[in-house]
Amino acid sequence: MKQVMHKAILAAVLATGIASCSQNAITGRNQLTLYNEADIQSMAAQQYQQFLTENKVVSTSGSKDAEMVRRVGQRLVNAINSYYSSQGKTAELEGYKWEYNLVNSQEVNAWCMPGGKIVVYTGLLPITQNEAALAVVMGHEIAHALAKHGNERMSQSAIQQMGQQALSVAIANKSAAAQNILLSAYGIGSNVGAMLPFSRKQELEADQFGLIFSSMAGYNPQEAIALWERMKAASGGSKPPEILSTHPAEDTRIQKLRDFMPEAMKYYKPVGK
C-alpha cells in the first residue's frame, strides 16, 4: 500500500509541477501539501460565508454564549500571535482573518477552516460547560488549521480519490472539485488502511497543540480531561471501533491528553497572575 501511495504522489507532483512536501512550522513534521495555502484559504472563506448564510448564527448582542465564543477566540488568537512573533514565524499567519461564530444547532461540534474561520455549535456548550473547556476545543480546532491538516487531507484525498489527471485539473483550475475536496477533508476518509490512521494522528497533534494554545491564553488545560470524560459519557458507547474511526477512541484520547499535560502546563499562567 505504501509503495502504491508513493508512486501516486510522485506521479501527481510530476504532472502538476508543484512541491509535494513541506515541513510544518508548528509540528515540525514533513507533510504532503499539493495545494497552495492561499488558494485553500480563499476557498475556505467562500465556503464559510455560504455556511453562515445557510445556518442560524447567534448574535453576540444579547447572547452570553456567543460573546463567550468571541472572547475565547480572541484570547486564543492573541496568544497565538504573541507566540508566533516570539518565534519569528509571523509570516506563517499571513492570510489569516479570524472569525468566530456560534451557530444554533444541536450538533456537538466545532471547526476551524484554513484562514481562521471558526464555528462553534450550540449543541457543544452543554458538554463543555465552562469557558476553559470551550477554549480546549477551540484551541484544538485552531491547531488543525495552523498545522495545515486541511491541506494535508485534501492532498491525500486528491491522490486517493481523483487520480493523477483529475488532480492536475482540480489544482490548475481551482474548480468545484477542489472545493468539494476541501469540504470532504473535514469528513470521514474512505480507506481504513491509509486515510483513517493518518487522520487519528492529526487529531492527536491537534490535541497536543490545542492544549498549549489554550494554556497560553490563560485557560487551565487540565479541563480537557473532564471535558473528554463528559464526551465519553455523552457518546453512550455508540462510537465505532477505533480502527474504523477518524478520531481516537475516548480512552485513548484521554490517556494521550494526560501525556501531553506536563508540557501544556509549562505555558499556563492564569489571567491576572
According to the model, what pLDDT value does residue 32 have?
77
Instruction: Count each helix (H run) and each strand (E run) in the chain, helices first.
Output: 11, 6
Q: Is pLDDT of 175 > 70?
A: no
The C-alpha cell of 101 is what? 461564530
Q: Is pLDDT of 170 > 80?
A: no
Sign (positive/negative) of CA torsion 212, 214, 216, 221?
negative
The amino acid sitting at 141 is E
Q: Which tens digit of pLDDT belongs to each residue from 61-118?
A: 889 999 999 999 999 999 999 999 998 999 999 999 999 999 999 989 899 988 999 9
Residue 151 contacts residue 33 (beta carbons within 8 Å): yes
Q: Which tens digit of pLDDT belongs to each residue from 225-273?
A: 999 999 888 877 666 666 556 778 888 999 999 999 999 999 998 875 5
Residue 155 contacts residue 119 (beta carbons within 8 Å): no
Catalytic: which of 99, 141, 250, 263? Answer: 141
Please list, in sequence order, all residues whose beta carbon lies within 8 angstroms of the beta carbon of residue 272, skipping any fewer than 6 positions away: none
The DSSP secondary structure of 21-47, one letter per residue, reads: EEE-TTT--EEE--S-HHHHHHHHHHH
Task: Parse the chain into domains and list their residue ranges.
Answer: 2-265
According to the model, what pLDDT value does residue 9 have?
40
Residue 207 contacts residue 260 (beta carbons within 8 Å): yes
Residue 148 contacts residue 31 (beta carbons within 8 Å): yes
According to the model, what pLDDT value does residue 190 have?
39
According to the model, what pLDDT value does residue 189 have?
33
Q: Is pLDDT of 43 > 90?
A: no
Q: Tell me how far apart the alpha carbons of residues 35 and 115 are, in angstroms, rounded to a whole number.
A: 14
Please list, in sequence order, all residues whose beta carbon lies within 8 angstroms of the beta carbon of residue 82, skipping any fewer than 6 positions away: 216
According to the model, what pLDDT value does residue 13 have?
43
Interstrand relation of 117-121 and 99-103 (parallel, antiparallel or unpaired): parallel
According to the model, what pLDDT value does residue 254 have?
93
How many Cα atoms within 13 Å fall on the side-chain side of residue 120? 33
Q: Which tens digit of pLDDT belongs to each residue from 185-195?
A: 543 233 445 55
Q: Which tens digit of pLDDT belongs to each residue from 115-165?
A: 999 999 999 999 999 999 999 999 999 999 999 888 888 777 766 665 544
Q: Is 141 annotated as catalytic? A: yes
